[in-house]
Amino acid sequence: MRTLERNKQYLWVVEPVGKVQVMDRDGLPTGEFETQYSTPKQIKLALYPTLGDITKRIFGDSMDLAYLSLTDTDVMSKDALLFYNEPTSNFDTNYDLKVAVIKRSLNHWNYGLEFR
């Protein structure tokens, strides 16, 4: 019942694809790394608040999550960033939700989402 189409809303997602070393203005490495993200794509997800006992059974008490989402297929990876509106740039600072934890069940994937 939680994966019904009528419960889903459109979101934009970007996936982390790698890390690139940050260079200073002289072209020398700074020792810092910046995450590179994929092109934004639109998906439909059902978001549910994490207030119930089921969320605690799936993810435990120690997780401070904002939403729970369930899907029939694997649509996101850990640390994927979600946006309510189409993002244009600065993905790592302008996102609305982040995939904090993923738990695979027998028939579906459970995503624990946290706020920025």
What digits encode the pLDDT tens for the residues 78-96?
999 999 999 988 888 899 9
Alpha-carbon distance 50 to 60, whole Å? 11
Return the pLDDT at 1. Answer: 56
Local confidence band at 10 (pLDDT 50, 70, 90 cut-offs): very high
Residue type, 52: G
**What's the residue count for the chain?**
116
All domains in the chain, ordered by first residue? 5-115 (2.40.10)
Condensed to tens digits (0 to 9), the pLDDT of residues 43-79 reads 999 888 887 777 777 777 777 888 888 888 888 999 9
Average predicted confidence (pLDDT) for the chain: 87
Which carries the bigger pLDDT value, residue 4 or residue 103? 103
Residue-wise DSSP of 45-80: E-EEES-SHHHHHHH-SS---SEEEEESS----TT-
